[in-house]
Amino acid sequence: MEIIRTPAEMTAWANKALVAGERIGLVPTMGFFHEGHLSLMRRAGEKADRTVVSLFVNPIQFGANEDLGRYPRDFSRDCQLAQDQGVDVLFAPEPHDMYPPEASTRVVVSGLTEGLCGKSRPGHFAGVTTVVAKLFHIIKPHCAVFGRKDFQQLAVIERMVADLDWDVEIIGHPIVREPDGLAMSSRNVYLSASERRAALCLFRAIGHARRRVRTGPVEAPVLQQEVEELLLQEGVAIEYVSIVDHATLRPQAVLQKSAVLAMAIKVGATRLIDNDNLFDD
């Protein structure tokens, strides 16, 4: 596996692969890999001849009071894990290479970014779409794989790609969970033992919502309130609980087949998100 540090070197590598007729698959990450990341790498390997994983803790998607400085990092471990998955290139640039002092451009998707996580994290999605746009230009992938745990992020990137006519296949990969149901996240390392137990309320809320949908008609506001009450029983702080359309992200007053339960909570100081397509088998 090659480790490439600069955008110019990465683009030179990509150009050689394209001339050779090879299909490039990209997995954008911020590192501190877990099985969820590794499953994205394997999926990219199935869809492409060459797999590139970007490892970049993107400073412009963090707010002033968020965890940029303490975001978990373990570069040598990540390199070994990526290599074990058959990754061809780990692209690990420095912030000053991705954002030179004179940089003044942002890529912004409106509408989809205004609710859910976007409401409480102003500027976050502009940081996400800007870095993903740069990665697409630098690496020139034929396909890119994103986890569905970041449900809103996936919808925003799909919109950006469609609006800008990018010839990149966006692949959404299912949420990977721990054996007890907690969605895998690099931030899970922040949780104490008691907070880890409390965090399972997200998975229990999904189970409750699915059972209610299966057993008969239920109004969206009623179900949303039930989920909120279940979460509050664990003493967590709710940022949002919303039932939205999977494509438009607009709240659903009446449950449709496109309904997604989306949640964000704080367990102690740790922010966690989860979601579920309520009518999926």
Longest Cα separation, the chain: 58
Residue 181 forms part of a structural domain: no
85 and 151 part of one domain: yes
Whole-model pTM: value is: 0.96
Can you give the pLDDT at residue 241?
Answer: 98
Can you give the pLDDT at residue 18?
Answer: 98
Instruction: Note the pLDDT tens digit of each residue in 168-197.
Output: 999 999 999 999 999 999 999 999 999 999
137 and 247 part of one domain: no
Residue 281 forms part of a structural domain: no
Catalytic pick among 37, 124, 142, 173: 37
> Would residue 246 show up in a list of annotated catalytic residues for this protein?
no
91 and 207 part of one domain: no
- Residue that terminates a domain, selected from 173, 201, 223: 173
Residue 255 forms part of a structural domain: yes
127 and 88 part of one domain: yes
Q: In the chain, how many domains are there?
A: 2
Residue 160 forms part of a structural domain: yes
25 and 108 part of one domain: yes
Residue 178 forms part of a structural domain: no
Residue 194's domain comprises: 186-275
95 and 25 part of one domain: yes
Query: How does DSSP assign 73-134, residue by residue?
Result: --HHHHHHHHHHTT-SEEE---HHHHS-TT--------STTSSTHHHHSTTHHHHHHHHHHH
Instruction: Note the pLDDT tens digit of each residue in 140-152.
Output: 999 999 999 999 9
- Residue that terminates a domain, selected from 117, 139, 173: 173
The domain that holds 135 is classified in CATH as 3.40.50.620
Residue 54 forms part of a structural domain: yes
167 and 84 part of one domain: yes
Among residues 69, 109, 111, 116, the alpha carbon closest in space to that of 273 is found at 116
- Residue that terminates a domain, selected from 173, 202, 230: 173
Q: Low-confidence residues of the chain, pLDDT below 70?
A: 281
The domain that holds 212 is classified in CATH as 3.30.1300.10
29 and 150 part of one domain: yes
154 and 210 part of one domain: no
86 and 16 part of one domain: yes
Determine if residue 140 is left, alpha or beta; phi over 0 gives left, psi from -120 to 50 gives alpha, anything else beta: left
129 and 238 part of one domain: no
84 and 128 part of one domain: yes
Can you give the pLDDT at residue 65?
Answer: 85
